[in-house]
Amino acid sequence: MINFYYEDISDPQLISVSTSKWIEKVAQIHGFNLGELSVVFCSDEYLLKMNQEYLQHDYYTDIITFDYSSKSHISGDLFISLETVQSNSEKFQTSFQNEFFRVLIHGILHLLGFKDKTDEEQKIMTSKEDEALSMLPTFL
For residues 2-31, average pLDDT = 93
- pLDDT tens, residue by residue, 53-85: 999 999 999 999 999 999 999 999 999 999 999
- Domain 2-135 CATH superfamily: Metalloproteases ("zincins"), catalytic domain (3.40.390.30)
Q: Report residue 91 CA to chain centroid gap.
A: 18
- pTM equals 0.95
Candidates 37, 39, 41; CA nearest to 81 is 41
Domains of the chain by residue range: 2-135
Residue count of the chain, please give it: 140
